[in-house]
Structure 1
Amino acid sequence: MDQNNSKKITPDQLKILQQKILEMQKMQISNNGSNTANLKSKMSFKSFIKYLHPKTIFALIIVFMNQSVKHVDSLIKFIIKKDLNEAQNVAHHARPPILFGSFIIVFFVLTGLIWSVTAPLDSASGASGMLISLSKRQTINHPDGGMIKNIFIKLGDQVKKGDPLLELEDRRVSLNYKHALSKFRTYSAVDSRIFAEMKNLDEITYDDILLNYLDDEDVLNIINTQNELFSSRTQLKKNMISSHEESIKIIQKHIEALRNKHIAIEKKLNLWKKKVDNSELLEKKGFSQSMQTTEFQTEMISTQVELENNQIEIIRLEQEIAKKELEGASQINDWNVRLYSELKENQNALFVSQEEFYTWNNALNGLILRAPIDGSVNQIVFYTQGQHIPPSQPIVEITPLNEELIIEAHVRSRDIDSIKVGQKSKIKFSAFKSRTSPTFSGQVISISPDIVQRSLPEPVSKASKKEQAEPTYIAEIQINMEEFNKIAQKRNLKLHPGMQVEVQIVTGSRTLMRYLLDPVLDAAFKGLKEK
């Protein structure tokens, strides 16, 4: 293959290249100038890089190939002596493969260069994280602590919400609960007894807090005491009412006797009136003496006085009955007023005792630690009966079941500016074989507003310790479960809380050339400064 058969660049293209080469030489000369000149040279270099398009690059490559062919021929002539026909013959036969190989190399370099300039690549920020439940693990503790009385669970057990986990023992709480319960029951029984007295019931109707515990000796004693008091007070009230009624009946009988006497006196008075009238008539006719008429008049007046006195006694006794009735009503009223006062005082005490009972009842129920969610027992810190638990110390840790799993990724502070909610991410699970498990996709759903300090498990290497000690932002990433489930069914993959995850959060796209040139340009921008 002759050099004349190679592709030649046009005169116009050569002029353009010569101008650009002269400009580059001028820029190299001006690099020793001031900072302003440095900045201009940087901008010119960027402009030159930007000016490079595929046609220009292709023209440069053609020139380079022509020059390369000349250098290859010169090298062959230098190595092989011209006067040896056999050597010239070997060089003549070796030249085509060399040129073919050069063209192949240039072709792949050209293709790679064009690809690096035009093909976009995803740029991403790396982060490590852990798979957690959306509701996160639940840690159970007790504010007051206590001594372990019973343990109802084992490590790995699945529990439902409300299931008992541990029972603590606190004698102070137990004694205060019993005392508050006894007071509450007593005041409740007194309240029922007073209500029955006010309504004049034949028996007391107690609340369920007493009726549901009739097998308790204390409850029976409280009920018997109130029943006896109710019977005695009811009988006292009946006796008081009966006494007043009996007194009134006696007076009424006396009045009835006086009224009968009143009738008899009226009849007697009428007889004396008739005698006086007859005596006066006989006296006028001369058949009787005036002395007899006077005696009759005297008896009549005496009978009339007796009648009036009897009427006065009846009125007095009727007033006595009214007084007795008023006294009875007053005593009943005083009785009811006293009952109302007792009821009010007892209800105040009942309210206080009820609040006290509920407080200690909650404290007693709090000694039984129950599962706040459906989940699996992940950790038991204290597991020996009789062991003392300090206040507010973690006791049991429960991992939720059937909860949506998300990734809690730690983003470095220098990358947070490029992380936004809604960005796509690429996920690799460390527990899965990288050879058989593909990369899964996800999406950023939240970013912490401030940095957090990561806790360091022991033991930790110095390198990882330095890396983990760096404050980070928390980014929560939601896994594309539809995509994951399709692959998981085929490869028998399953997610578990706590799995380690490597995440690449896609922050944008740039070409390979841009990826290679950005560090150089940044270093040049920082380094080209005049002191």
Structure 2
Amino acid sequence: MSRHDDNHQDNQDHDHERDDRLPPQQNTASRGSEQAHNGEYLPASAEGGSASSQPPTNDRWPRLFGFIVILIAFGGVGGWASFAKIDGAVVAQGTVTVDSYRQTVQHLEGGIVERLHVRDGDVVERGDLLIQLDETQARAEYLMNWSRYISALARQSRLEAEIEGLEEIEFAEQVLSSAEQSERTQQVKRAQRREFETRRDAMEGEVDVLNQRIEQLGENIAGMQAQREAKLRGIESLEEEIETKERLVEREAIPSSELRPLERELAAMEGEVGELQASIASARVEIGETRLQIIQTERDFHREVAAELRETSDQVDELEEELQALEDRLARKQIVAPVDGEVVNMQVHARRAVIQGGEPVLDLVPEDEPLILEGQVEPQDVDNVYPGMSADVRFTAFSFRRTPVISGEITFVSADRIEPENEEPYYKVRAMVTDEELAKLGDVSLRPGMPADIMIKTGERTPVQYLAKPITDALARSFRED
């Protein structure tokens, strides 16, 4: 045996002696350490025989294994959160509506209900009578203004006939075809014909008087011209007689005193001819003045008629506008359906009920109109929403298990936020769903007003980006200088 073996044997003997001096537990532990140090493990029966003794353990490897597992788990989750892509979405609470919206029927002036023709749930077509209002007062006012209009129109026709010099009045078509108060219309026509004939006769009478005066002056001129011609012939004869007697005086056959009477008579006749000539000229001047008077009389008449015609035409135009307004008002006494649809939300239910002006009477839900979805997006999310984006739509009124999610497209985003009274502000969005997508719902019947969730797809983001956005936004606001 070598020296090394002797030393080893001595160490073992020394250790056995030390172990004999230790308590049993420490002795066992010491042997276990030694055995562990020597790289060998013995069963409990080989250790001196205690059945309750446990083998020595080493927890370094379990701890290392646990640390590796935790590191892998956090690394995997972190890697997934950093690189995995998930779809982001803005959720808008919405409702089903029609493309042309629910039509609220109102009345401008209001009135008393005469008869109800529809009830809630009735389906009507455009132009169908919904409610008949009492039109007694409106019709009386309309007829009164119609009578004034017919009178003004008949007067206008009479004045036009006067200014154009017609023999009879050509009444307007409205007067001839008037069925309202026909007896009153006939009275108006007769009155205007009498007025036309009276004024025409007065005008013609005045002109006739002047024409008669012209005729009389013409006759006077003719008489004076005849007298003048006779005077001229007498002057010519007298001049011949004077010439004959002058020759006799030259022969001293007669005295010259016989010429004096003839010369005086010639001068008198020439004076009479001059007076007749002046009278003829004066008569001709008077004829001209009379003709001017006739022209002036006709001109004054036409001027007066033209002034009356302008005033009457203005009155006719004004009455036409009033009648148009009254016709509209009378027509509005019949409340008719503006669109095809179903009657809902009736506000009046009894005859003689009073409808206030401008107040809703009923609503019409249009039929056969494309259904759209209208939702509300919170202001902080609207920067991620714009027309053309895809959206998933779920109709919350139906069972989630039996109703699939269908696809839609955002078609409208309001330009400014809407701030209803006593409600949170929001931006309005509209989404359109194609018929192919609606067919996926099967036999489900959609109706306007049903609730729906509109999940607007805003693109892909990692979970880290999603979780970090509120923090980065808060930091950006915190570090921004005033």
| Normalised-by-shorter TM-score class | 0.7 to 0.9
* RMSD, matched Cα: 3.5
- Partner of residue 258, structure 2: 292
Distance 1:275 1:152, change over 3 A: farther
- Partner of residue 434, structure 2: 481
Amino acid at match of 1:198: I
Distance 1:203 1:160, change over 3 A: farther
Matching of residue 446 in structure 1 with residue 397 in structure 2: no
In the alignment, the residues of structure 2 paired with residue 319 and residue 305 of structure 1 have an alpha-carbon distance, to the nearest angstrom, of: 21
- Aligned residues of 1:440 and 1:483 also touching (Cα < 8 A): no
- Picking from 331, 345, 352, the partner of 2:318 is 352
- Aligned residues of 1:116 and 1:513 also touching (Cα < 8 A): no
In the alignment, the residues of structure 2 paired with residue 336 and residue 507 of structure 1 have an alpha-carbon distance, to the nearest angstrom, of: 82
Deviations 1:220-248 (A, max 9, x none): 22222112111111122122222211221
Distance 1:518 1:261, change over 3 A: closer
Partner SS state of residue 403, structure 1: coil
- Partner of residue 333, structure 1: 299
In the alignment, the residues of structure 2 paired with residue 313 and residue 257 of structure 1 have an alpha-carbon distance, to the nearest angstrom, of: 11
How is 1:181-200 mapped onto 2 (pairs within 5 angstroms)? 181-200=146-165
- Aligned residues of 1:408 and 1:474 also touching (Cα < 8 A): no
In the alignment, the residues of structure 2 paired with residue 284 and residue 513 of structure 1 have an alpha-carbon distance, to the nearest angstrom, of: 163
Deviations 1:158-203 (A, max 9, x none): 4444444323235554443333323222222222211110000122
- Picking from 127, 130, 133, the partner of 2:95 is 130
In the alignment, the residues of structure 1 paired with residue 459 and residue 316 of structure 2 have an alpha-carbon distance, to the nearest angstrom, of: 70
- Aligned residues of 2:92 and 2:455 also touching (Cα < 8 A): yes
Compute the displacement of 1:139 (Å). 0.9
- Partner of residue 12, structure 1: none
- Aligned residues of 1:272 and 1:300 also touching (Cα < 8 A): yes
Amino acid at match of 2:458: T
- Picking from 102, 111, 114, the partner of 1:149 is 114
Compute the displacement of 1:470 (Å). 6.2
Partner SS state of residue 355, structure 1: helix
- Partner of residue 210, structure 1: 175
In the alignment, the residues of structure 2 paired with residue 208 and residue 325 of structure 1 have an alpha-carbon distance, to the nearest angstrom, of: 39
- Aligned residues of 1:214 and 1:220 also touching (Cα < 8 A): no
- Aligned residues of 1:141 and 1:396 also touching (Cα < 8 A): yes
- Aligned residues of 1:187 and 1:349 also touching (Cα < 8 A): yes
- Partner of residue 140, structure 1: 105
In the alignment, the residues of structure 2 paired with residue 427 and residue 146 of structure 1 have an alpha-carbon distance, to the nearest angstrom, of: 45
- Picking from 342, 347, 354, the partner of 1:376 is 342
- Partner of residue 497, structure 1: 448
- Picking from 400, 403, 407, the partner of 2:369 is 403
Distance 1:351 1:143, change over 3 A: same
Deviations 1:108-159 (A, max 9, x none): x99x979965653334343332111222111121233110123344444444
Compute the displacement of 1:283 (Å). 1.8
Query: Which sits farther off after the overlay, 238-247 or 423-432?
Result: 423-432
Distance 1:200 1:150, change over 3 A: farther
Amino acid at match of 2:112: M
How is 1:275-314 mapped onto 2 (pairs within 5 angstroms)? 275-314=241-280
Partner SS state of residue 291, structure 1: helix
Q: Which has the higher helix share?
A: 1
In the alignment, the residues of structure 1 paired with residue 301 and residue 387 of structure 2 have an alpha-carbon distance, to the nearest angstrom, of: 77
Amino acid at match of 1:450: R
Amino acid at match of 2:261: E
In the alignment, the residues of structure 2 paired with residue 423 and residue 236 of structure 1 have an alpha-carbon distance, to the nearest angstrom, of: 86
In the alignment, the residues of structure 1 paired with residue 146 and residue 179 of structure 2 have an alpha-carbon distance, to the nearest angstrom, of: 14
Compute the displacement of 1:388 (Å). 0.9
Distance 1:277 1:415, change over 3 A: closer
- Partner of residue 423, structure 1: 389
- Aligned residues of 1:378 and 1:397 also touching (Cα < 8 A): yes
How is 1:32-111 mapped onto 2 (pairs within 5 angstroms)? none
- Picking from 309, 312, 331, the partner of 1:365 is 331
Amino acid at match of 1:473: Y
- Partner of residue 283, structure 2: 317
- Partner of residue 25, structure 1: none
Gap regions ≥5 residues in structure 1 = 1-76, 84-108, 455-468, 526-531
Amino acid at match of 1:410: Q
In the alignment, the residues of structure 2 paired with residue 254 and residue 214 of structure 1 have an alpha-carbon distance, to the nearest angstrom, of: 59
Partner SS state of residue 404, structure 2: coil
Deviations 1:360-419 (A, max 9, x none): 333333333333334333332213222111222110211223333211123456655654
Query: Which sits farther off after the overlay, 472-481 or 127-136?
Result: 472-481
- Partner of residue 60, structure 1: none
In the alignment, the residues of structure 2 paired with residue 116 and residue 132 of structure 1 have an alpha-carbon distance, to the nearest angstrom, of: 41
Q: How many residues align?
A: 401
Query: Which sits farther off after the overlay, 186-195 or 500-509?
Result: 500-509
Query: Which sits farther off after the overlay, 267-276 or 144-153?
Result: 144-153
Partner SS state of residue 143, structure 1: coil
In the alignment, the residues of structure 2 paired with residue 378 and residue 257 of structure 1 have an alpha-carbon distance, to the nearest angstrom, of: 99
When normalised by structure 2's length, the TM-score is: 0.72
In the alignment, the residues of structure 2 paired with residue 352 and residue 470 of structure 1 have an alpha-carbon distance, to the nearest angstrom, of: 49
- Aligned residues of 1:413 and 1:471 also touching (Cα < 8 A): no
Amino acid at match of 1:471: E
- Aligned residues of 1:406 and 1:476 also touching (Cα < 8 A): no
- Aligned residues of 2:411 and 2:432 also touching (Cα < 8 A): no
Partner SS state of residue 122, structure 1: strand
- Aligned residues of 2:406 and 2:438 also touching (Cα < 8 A): no
Amino acid at match of 2:204: K
In the alignment, the residues of structure 1 paired with residue 431 and residue 86 of structure 2 have an alpha-carbon distance, to the nearest angstrom, of: 23
Partner SS state of residue 438, structure 1: coil
Q: Which has the larger radius of gyration?
A: 2
Amino acid at match of 1:165: L
Gap regions ≥5 residues in structure 2 = 1-42, 50-72, 476-482
Amino acid at match of 2:150: R
